[in-house]
Each structure stands twice: as structure tokens, then as C-alpha cells.
């Protein structure tokens, strides 16, 4: 049986990925920031849980030691852990900026760094880094979330060059708003006395909620695509887009260019 590590696996998309791979005969190493959340996988076969905080090098190393004591080899690491922060730059807070950078980008960096030696020694391995359509296009109020996802894209592509000689596959996966609890947990700046800001925040919140509700089949599409990628790793770096929203935004940005795309966003998103 193949072995997969998933970060942020206790809920949302991570939980669905874990269950899907388990049903398809993989050993799932589900990592989470609090081991008490392991109850979500009670009575599900082939899933073993470990505490791992992607923002802590000490936690990563401790989890790695425990995992490699229990499993002789790891075939795949899916860096899924992520958080959202929707704020105007003027109103942003250091603690929240630090949190999203530490989880969404540096968490990916540190987990990859920890498991590269294992992959290199066994002469095989695969990293799938969960990005977002936010890593390819820029939308209002996404200054911090988009920046971290673009960082994941650049980091992953650069790392892929380094690992070519060791049979280690690297790819990123982008999609829009999946119907999980992610949007509900997005941190937002508070309403203030600047009318323009309040109107824009309300507009973006409504759009995100509508898209999340509309994409009721997206979660299944994501986990199925991840499984296909896992079963057939690409030797070359790849960016995979999943779902109508991701494909639409990707091609609009590519073929319209910056100026026309910017006009489109102003007209149809900001209204």
C-alpha cells in the first residue's frame, strides 16, 4: 500500500482528501494541529493521525520522527493546511499577516524541507502543494491570501528544478471556492467608518458566499483529481486547475491581459 501525508487533515478539504485516499487503498497519515481532532476519523480504516503544526519546526520534526518510525516509506505529501485573511491593507494587523504567511507559505516550505531528504534517499516521492486560483489572478481584498498563494506557486516551481535528478515530482493545484467550512473561517477586518471599504467588503463577501454555494460538486472533483495526480505523478512541474471558476479566471487573465482583466474585475466584481 502507498503512504500519503496530508497536512490540515482534521476538517474541510483535508478531511475529504484523507477519506477518499483511504477508500482507494492508501495508508493515510493525517496530520493536524490538535490531536484531539483525530476523532473525525474514528472507525475509518487506513488512517493514522499525528499532531503537526506547520508553523513550528519543532512540531514538524517531532511528527516526522514519529511518522518515519511507523512507516518505512512515504510516497506523497499533500500540503493542504491553509487559512484566509480578507482585509484592506490599511486595516491589516501584524498578527494576522504573520499567521497567514506562516501557515500558507512558510508551512509549505518547512514541510517540504523536512521530507525532501527522505524522498531523496528512497529515490522517489511526490509533493502536491494546494494553491488556489488566487495564486494565478488578483482579486479585491486578496492582498495577503493571494500573495501567499503566489509564493507557493513560485516556491514549488523553483523547488521542482532542484529535485529533478532524484525522481521527486512537484505540482500545484488551483481551484475556486469549494463548499467546505474554509470561507466561514476566513478572518476579516472589522467594519469601520469608511463607506467605500464597507461597500467593497460586503460585495466581496457576498460573491464569495454565492460562489461557495454554487460549487456544490467542486469538492468531489478536487479529491478525485488529486487521486489521479497521485497515481500518475508527472516528472515535470505541473499546475493543475480544477473547476469552472479556476479555468475561466485562468484563461481570462491569460488572453485578456492585465488591462482588460482589470477592467473586467472592476466592472463585474466591484460593480
Largest CA distance in the chain: 58
Helix, strand or coil, per DSSP, at residue 186: coil
**194/152 Cα distance (integer angstroms):** 33
- Give the contacts of 56 (CB within 8 A, at least 6 positions apart): none
Indicate the Cα dihedral angle 48, 54, 58, 59, nearest 10°. Answer: -30
| Nearest partner of 201 among 269, 145, 134, judged by Cα | 269
Do 102 and 109 form a contact (C-beta atoms < 8 A)? no
Contact 7, 111 (CB under 8 A): yes
Closest Cα partner for 48 from 18, 87, 81, 76?
Answer: 18
Catalytic residues: 145
H-type alpha helices, 123-243:
143-162, 195-214, 218-231
- Residue pair 226/159 in contact (Cβ under 8 Å)? The answer is no
Instruction: For residue 175, give Cα distances in angstroms to 55, 172, 202, 205, 269.
Output: 24, 10, 23, 18, 18
What is the residue whose three cell numbers read 486547475? 241
Residue with cell 475509518: 44
Q: Are 137 and 122 in contact (CB under 8 A)?
A: no
Amino acid at each position: 500500500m502507498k503512504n500519503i501525508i496530508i497536512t490540515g487533515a482534521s476538517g474541510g478539504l483535508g478531511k475529504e482528501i484523507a477519506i477518499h485516499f483511504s477508500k482507494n487503498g492508501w495508508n493515510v497519515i493525517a496530520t493536524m494541529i490538535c490531536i484531539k481532532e483525530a476523532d473525525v476519523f474514528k472507525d475509518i480504516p487506513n488512517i493514522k493521525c499525528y499532531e503537526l503544526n506547520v508553523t513550528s519546526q519543532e512540531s514538524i520534526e517531532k511528527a516526522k520522527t514519529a511518522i518515519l518510525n511507523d512507516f518505512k516509506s512515504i510516497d506523497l505529501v499533500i500540503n493542504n493546511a491553509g487559512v484566509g485573511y480578507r482585509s484592506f491593507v490599511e486595516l491589516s494587523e501584524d498578527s494576522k499577516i504573520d499567521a497567514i504567511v506562516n501557515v500558507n507559505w512558510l508551512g509549505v516550505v518547512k514541510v517540504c524541507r523536512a521530507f525532501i531528504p527522505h524522498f531523496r534517499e528512497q529515490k522517489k516521492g511526490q509533493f502536491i502543494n494546494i494553491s488556489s486560483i488566487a495564486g494565478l489572478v488578483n482579486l479585491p481584498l486578496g492582498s495577503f491570501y493571494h500573495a501567499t498563494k503566489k509564493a507557493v506557486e513560485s516556491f514549488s516551481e523553483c523547488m521542482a528544478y532542484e529535485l529533478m535528478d532524484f525522481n521527486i515530482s512537484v505540482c500545484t493545484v488551483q481551484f475556486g471556492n469549494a463548499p467546505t467550512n474554509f470561507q466561514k473561517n476566513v478572518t476579516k477586518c472589522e467594519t469601520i467608518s469608511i463607506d467605500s471599504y464597507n461597500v467593497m467588503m460586503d460585495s466581496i463577501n457576498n460573491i464569495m458566499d454565492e460562489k461557495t454555494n454554487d460549487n456544490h460538486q467542486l469538492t468531489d472533483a478536487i479529491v478525485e483529481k488529486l487521486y489521479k495526480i497521485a497515481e500518475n505523478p508527472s516528472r515535470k512541474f505541473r499546475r493543475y486547475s480544477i473547476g469552472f471558476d479556476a479555468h475561466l479566471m485562468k484563461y481570462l487573465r491569460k488572453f485578456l491581459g492585465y488591462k482588460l482583466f482589470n477592467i473586467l474585475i472592476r466592472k463585474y466584481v466591484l460593480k
